[in-house]
Amino acid sequence: MKQNDLVIIGAGPTALTAAIYTTREDIDTVLIEKGAIGGLIATTDWVDNYPGFVEGISGLDMADRFQKQAERFGAVIELDEVLGIKPVDKLISVSTTSGERLAKAVLIATGSDYKKLGIPGEDTYYARGVHYCATCDGAFYRGKRLVVVGGGNSAVQEALFLTKFATHIDLLVRSTLKASDVLLHELERNDKITVHLGVATDQIIGDETRVTKVLGSDTKTNKLIEFDTDGVFVFIGLKPTAEFLRSTGIDFDSIGFIKTDENLRTSIKGVFAAGDVRSGATMQVASACGEGATAALRIREYLEGHSQQEK
C-alpha cells in the first residue's frame, strides 16, 4: 500500500500553496484531484484583486502558475477521486477509486462548487443551455441572447464577460444587487445588460435540443415574466465540496462547511482543513492561499511530533 507524509485532497489555490510550502521542506506530498487542477480559479475569467498582478491575470494562467511552482518543488498531482478517510493506528487511510493509501497527515482543501437553482429544467438542460462557467461555455453563444441569474460579484462579473459574445443579457436578481461598487459602475455603463430586480427564476424551458426561454416571477406581485433566451448562466453562490466526508466523523457546521480550530485542525487527529471548504473561510483566492500556507506550517509541526512518537 502506498504511503506518504501528506495527502492533500484537492488541487486548487489552497492545496497548491500548501504543497509549495511542504515540498520545499522535503515533506513527501501528493495531491489528489478529481476535477480541474486549479479548482474554480481555473474557470474564472479574470482575477483582478490578487496582490502582485497590477494588470490582473486570467484565472487559467494563475492556476497554471500555481501548478508549475508546486511541481517544481516536487509535489505530485494525481487525478483520482477520494471516497473517504479514516484513522488507522497512528496514520490516516485515504480511500480512492484506484485503491487505498496511507498518510501521516491529510489536508482537506476541496474548496467549493457552484450552487444550483433547483428548478424544473435545470438538470434537463445542463450543458445544453444551462451553464455555471462563463469562461468555459460563453464562446458557444456568439451573437445569441442570454439570461444570467444572480446578483453578487460573480454574477455581475460573469455577465460583463459574456457581453464579449452575446448580443443581449437579461440579468435576473431575486432581491437586490450585492456586487462591489466597481462592478456596479461597469454594469451601469454596459448597454448590453438589462437588470431585472426582484425577479425569481422559476423554470427553464426548451425543446429537444436546447433552451428557448426562462420563466420568472415578480417577487412582490407574483406576476409571471418570460425571457426568450438561447442559454442560461447561473451564479448564485458556492457550496462546500465535502459531502463525501459526511460519514468520517469530521465535524461540520450547519451549512456543510468543515469545522476547525485556530490551527486548522479538524475533529480527527492528523486531518486538517483549509480554504473555501472550511467554516469561516472568506471565499477569496488571496485568503485561500494564506490558509494553505498556514496549514502547511501547522502540518509540519504535527509531522515533527509524529516523528518523535515513532522513535
pLDDT digits (tens, 9 = 90+) for 224-244: 999 999 999 999 988 999 999
d(CA 148, CA 51): 29
Catalytic residue among 5, 137, 230, 276: 137
Cell triple for 219: 417577487
Residue 282 shares a structural domain with residue 256: yes
Q: What pLDDT does residue 60 have?
A: 92
Active-site residue 133, yes or no? Answer: yes
Range with the poorest average pLDDT among 21-30, 37-46, 194-203, 266-275: 37-46
CATH assignment at residue 43:
3.50.50.60
Examine the pLDDT at 279 and tell me if it is beyond 80: yes
Active-site residue 289, yes or no? Answer: no
Task: For residue 43, name the pLDDT band (cuts at 50, 70, 90).
Answer: confident
**What is the percent of the chain where pLDDT is above 70?**
98
Residue 213 shares a structural domain with residue 268: no
Catalytic residue among 61, 64, 136, 202: 136
Q: Which domain holds residue 282?
A: 2-114+238-310
Report the pLDDT averaged over residues 74-87.
97
Residue 16 shares a structural domain with residue 62: yes
Q: Is residue 61 part of a domain?
A: yes
Catalytic residue among 133, 170, 230, 276: 133
d(CA 172, CA 177): 10
Residue 147 shares a structural domain with residue 180: yes
Q: Is residue 226 part of a domain?
A: yes
Give the chain's mean pLDDT: 95
Q: Is residue 125 part of a domain?
A: no
**Cα 149 to the chain's mean position, in Å?**
18
Report the pLDDT averaged over residues 291-310.
89
For 29, 34, 107, 309, the CA distances from 305, given in Å and listed in that order, are 17, 31, 17, 6
Examine the pLDDT at 311 and tell me if it is beyond 60: no
Task: For residue 75, name the pLDDT band (cuts at 50, 70, 90).
Answer: very high
Q: What pLDDT does residue 309 have?
A: 67
Residue 92 shares a structural domain with residue 41: yes
**What is the percent of the chain where pLDDT is above 90?**
86
Task: For residue 44, name the pLDDT band (cuts at 50, 70, 90).
Answer: confident
Residue 158 shares a structural domain with residue 224: yes
Q: Is residue 121 part of a domain?
A: no
Output the pTM of the full model.
0.81
Active-site residue 137, yes or no? Answer: yes
Residue 156 shares a structural domain with residue 294: no
Instruction: Select the more confidently predicted residue: 8 or 238.
Output: 8
Q: Is residue 119 part of a domain?
A: no
Query: In a 10 Å sphere around its CB, with 0-12 CB exposed, 13-18 middle and 19+ buried, how is residue 136 labelled?
Result: middle
Q: Is residue 195 part of a domain?
A: yes
Examine the pLDDT at 310 and tell me if it is beyond 80: no
Residue 207 shares a structural domain with residue 286: no
Tell me the helices (H) and strands (E) count for the chain, helix number first: 6, 19
d(CA 234, CA 150): 7
- End-of-domain residue from the set 234, 266, 285: 234
Cell triple for 264: 486548522
Instruction: Select the more confidently predicted residue: 40 or 267.
Output: 267
Residue 297 shares a structural domain with residue 223: no
Nearest to 116 by CA among 257, 211, 239: 239
Residue 31 shares a structural domain with residue 171: no
- End-of-domain residue from the set 213, 234, 255: 234
Q: Is residue 187 part of a domain?
A: yes
- End-of-domain residue from the set 234, 261, 276: 234
Q: What pLDDT does residue 1 have?
A: 81
Task: For residue 92, name the pLDDT band (cuts at 50, 70, 90).
Answer: very high
Give the pLDDT confidence of 104-141 residue by residue, as tens digits. Answer: 999 999 999 889 999 999 999 998 999 998 888 899 99
Neighbours of 297 (CB within 10 A): 15
Give 103's DSSP letter: E
Residue 216 shares a structural domain with residue 300: no
Q: How many domains does the chain have?
A: 2
Residue 107 shares a structural domain with residue 253: yes
